[in-house]
A and B are shown apart, each in its own frame.
Chain A
Amino acid sequence: MDLQYTPEQTEFRAEVHAWMASHAPKFHNLPSLESRVGYDAHVAWERELATGNWGMVTWPEKYGGRDLDLIRWLIFEEEYYRADAPARANQNGIFLLGPTIMEFGTGEQKERFLPPMAGGEIVWCQGWSEPDAGSDMAAIRSKAIRDGDHYVITGQKTWSSRAAYADWCFGLFRTDPASQRHKGLSFILMPLNTPGITVRPIRQLHGDTGFAEIFFDEVRVPVENRIAAEGEGWNVAMATAGFERGLMLRSPARFQRTAQRLVDLFRAHPNPAPGLRDTVTKSWMDAEAYALNTYLVASTIEAGGRIGAEASMNKIFWSELDRRMHRAAVSLLGAAAELRADPAITAWLDGYIFSLAGPIYAGSNEIQRNIVAERVLGLPR
Chain B
Amino acid sequence: MDFRFSEAQTALRDSVRAYLDDAHPPALLRRLDRDGPDPSIWRGLAKMGLPAALVPEAAGGLGLTLVEGALIAAELGRANLGDLLADTALIAAPWLAHHGDTGALADIAAGTRRIALAHKINPWIADLDQADAVLTAAGLVPPPSTKTRLESVDPLRRLFTPLSIAHADDLLLNLAALMTAAQMLGATERMLAMATDYAKTRKQFGQPIGAFQAIKHLLANVAERLEFARPVVWHAAYALHHGHPHAPTHVSHAKLAATDAAMLAAETAIQVHGAMGYTYEVDLHYWMKRTWALAGAWGDQNFHQQRVDQAIIGGLLPIGPGTTFSSEDQHA
Residue of B4, B192, B320 touching A303 (CB-CB under 8 A) = B4
Chain A min CB distance to B264 (Å): 14
Residue of A4, A278, A373 touching B219 (CB-CB under 8 A) = A373
Is the pair A379, B2 in contact by a Cβ cutoff of 8 Å? no
Residue of B3, B192, B200, B308 touching A281 (CB-CB under 8 A) = B308
Residue of B216, B253, B256, B313 touching A379 (CB-CB under 8 A) = B216
Expressed in whole angstroms, the Cα–Cα distance for A259 and B315 within the complex equals: 13
Is the pair B322, A253 in contact by a Cβ cutoff of 8 Å? yes
Closest to A79 in B: B322
Residue of A75, A263, A300, A313 touching B322 (CB-CB under 8 A) = A75
Question: Given the complex, which residues of A lie within 8 Å of B9, measured CB to CB?
Answer: 1
Is the pair B320, A82 in contact by a Cβ cutoff of 8 Å? yes
Question: Given the complex, which residues of B lie within 8 Å of A281, measured CB to CB?
Answer: 305, 308-309, 312-313
Expressed in whole angstroms, the Cα–Cα distance for A310 and B223 within the complex equals: 9
Q: Which segment of B91-99, B147-155, B226-234 sits at the interface?
A: B226-234
Confirm or deny: A2 has a beta carbon within 8 angstroms of a beta carbon on chain B.
Answer: yes
Q: A75-B322, A288-B232 are in contact. List 20 more A-B contacts (CB 8 A).
A: A1-B4, A1-B234, A3-B235, A9-B1, A13-B331, A256-B320, A259-B320, A266-B313, A278-B305, A280-B313, A281-B309, A281-B312, A285-B232, A285-B256, A288-B253, A291-B324, A293-B231, A316-B220, A317-B227, A380-B208
Is the pair A369, B324 in contact by a Cβ cutoff of 8 Å? no
Is the pair A17, B216 in contact by a Cβ cutoff of 8 Å? no
Expressed in whole angstroms, the Cα–Cα distance for A247 and B3 within the complex equals: 15
Is the pair A373, B216 in contact by a Cβ cutoff of 8 Å? yes
Confirm or deny: B67 has a beta carbon within 8 angstroms of a beta carbon on chain A.
Answer: yes
Is the pair B220, A377 in contact by a Cβ cutoff of 8 Å? yes
A-B contacts at CB below 8 angstroms, number: 183
5 A-B contacts (beta carbon < 8 Å) = A1-B4, A253-B322, A257-B320, A267-B315, A289-B257
Confirm or deny: B103 has a beta carbon within 8 angstroms of a beta carbon on chain A.
Answer: no
Question: Are A374 and B313 CB-contacts (below 8 A) given A5-B1, A82-B322?
Answer: no
Question: Given the complex, which residues of A lie within 8 Å of B208, measured CB to CB?
Answer: 379-380
Is the pair A296, B3 in contact by a Cβ cutoff of 8 Å? yes
- Report, as a range, how many residues of chain B touch the other chain: 35 or more
Expressed in whole angstroms, the Cα–Cα distance for A292 and B1 within the complex equals: 12
Expressed in whole angstroms, the Cα–Cα distance for A6 and B219 within the complex equals: 39
Closest to A381 in B: B211
Confirm or deny: B217 has a beta carbon within 8 angstroms of a beta carbon on chain A.
Answer: yes
Q: Which residues of A contact B (CB under 8 A)?
A: 1-6, 9-10, 13-14, 17, 71, 75, 77-79, 81-82, 252-253, 256-257, 259-260, 263, 266-267, 277-278, 280-281, 284-286, 288-293, 295-296, 298-300, 302-303, 310, 313, 316-317, 366, 368-370, 372-374, 376-381
Chain A min CB distance to B155 (Å): 29
Is the pair A373, B3 in contact by a Cβ cutoff of 8 Å? no
Q: Nearest 3 pairs between A and B by C-beta?
A: A373-B216, A253-B321, A260-B320
Expressed in whole angstroms, the Cα–Cα distance for A126 and B142 within the complex equals: 70
Expressed in whole angstroms, the Cα–Cα distance for A267 and B314 within the complex equals: 9
Question: Given the complex, which residues of B lie within 8 Å of A71, measured CB to CB?
Answer: 1
Expressed in whole angstroms, the Cα–Cα distance for A257 and B320 within the complex equals: 5
In chain B, positions 1-60 with a C-beta closer than 8 Å to chain A are 1-6, 9
Expressed in whole angstroms, the Cα–Cα distance for A82 and B216 within the complex equals: 38
Is the pair A300, B330 in contact by a Cβ cutoff of 8 Å? no
Residue of B6, B213, B257 touching A370 (CB-CB under 8 A) = B213
Question: Given the complex, which residues of A lie within 8 Å of B305, measured CB to CB?
Answer: 278, 281
Expressed in whole angstroms, the Cα–Cα distance for A252 and B321 within the complex equals: 8
In chain B, positions 182-218 with a C-beta closer than 8 Å to chain A are 192, 196, 199-200, 207-208, 210-211, 213, 215-217
Residue of B2, B4, B224 touching A313 (CB-CB under 8 A) = B224
Is the pair B219, A1 in contact by a Cβ cutoff of 8 Å? no
Is the pair B219, A379 in contact by a Cβ cutoff of 8 Å? yes
Question: Are A293 and B1 CB-contacts (below 8 A) given A259-B319, A366-B217?
Answer: no
Expressed in whole angstroms, the Cα–Cα distance for A374 and B208 within the complex equals: 13
Expressed in whole angstroms, the Cα–Cα distance for A299 and B224 within the complex equals: 19
Is the pair A277, B313 in contact by a Cβ cutoff of 8 Å? yes
Chain B min CB distance to A266 (Å): 7
Expressed in whole angstroms, the Cα–Cα distance for A379 and B6 within the complex equals: 31
Question: Given the complex, which residues of B lie within 8 Å of A284, measured CB to CB?
Answer: 308, 312, 319
Expressed in whole angstroms, the Cα–Cα distance for A81 and B192 within the complex equals: 36
Is the pair A289, B4 in contact by a Cβ cutoff of 8 Å? no
Question: Are A379 and B210 CB-contacts (below 8 A) given A256-B320, A267-B313?
Answer: yes
Question: Given the complex, which residues of A lie within 8 Å of B312, measured CB to CB?
Answer: 263, 280-281, 284
Chain B min CB distance to A86 (Å): 15
Expressed in whole angstroms, the Cα–Cα distance for A101 and B51 within the complex equals: 52
Chain B min CB distance to A142 (Å): 28
Expressed in whole angstroms, the Cα–Cα distance for A6 and B330 within the complex equals: 12
